[in-house]
Amino acid sequence: MVRDGVDRLKPAFGSVLFIENVGNLVCASLFDLGEHARVVLFSVTEGAEGADKPIKYPHMFRRADIVLLTKIDLAPYVDFEEDAAMAAIHAVNPTAPVIRLSTRSGEGLSAWYDWVRARFRAVHAS
């Protein structure tokens, strides 16, 4: 399906293609899609119960090249336990960088863009 989509899109040479998992946190981690990086979006809107998602779905977080902690501006309103979430992420994947993102304030966006650019350069240098 991904190959068919890429064939139809015909992205220009040097483009970056993002493939979104629209299922759950289990299935997508089990398949090799030919990607150069795996990004996990971890939303604080999961609330207090969501902090243990990395423990419940270790395969997805273990294979992550980076974790984006999203919607951080909402954390105070949903009782998200960020320290517990960070501990769970690093228990499963001690080397995964985590970037806190807020599209509202812009926090973390430049770090995320820098990471994508660096990954792009690394892939195309090889």
What's the CATH code of the domain at 79? 3.40.50.300
Strands 66-70 and 98-100: parallel
Domain contains 114: no
Instruction: Specify if 59 maps to a domain.
Output: yes
Domain membership of residue 50 (yes or no) is yes
Q: Is residue 96 part of a domain?
A: yes
Residues with Cβ < 8 Å from 71, sequence gap 6 or more? 43, 44, 45, 101, 102
- Cα–Cα distance list, 121 to 21, 39, 112 (Å): 24, 17, 14
Structural domain boundaries, residue 76: 18-104
Could you tell me if residue 116 is inside a domain? Answer: no
Instruction: Please compute the mean of the pLDDT values over residues 107-124 and round it to a whole number.
Output: 95
**What is the tens place of the pLDDT at every residue in 36-93?**
899 999 999 988 788 899 999 899 899 999 999 999 999 989 989 999 999 999 999 9
Residue 2: inside a domain? no
In total, how many domains does the chain have?
1
pLDDT in tens, 93-111: 999 999 999 999 999 999 9
Q: Tell how far CA 115 is from the center of its chain.
A: 12
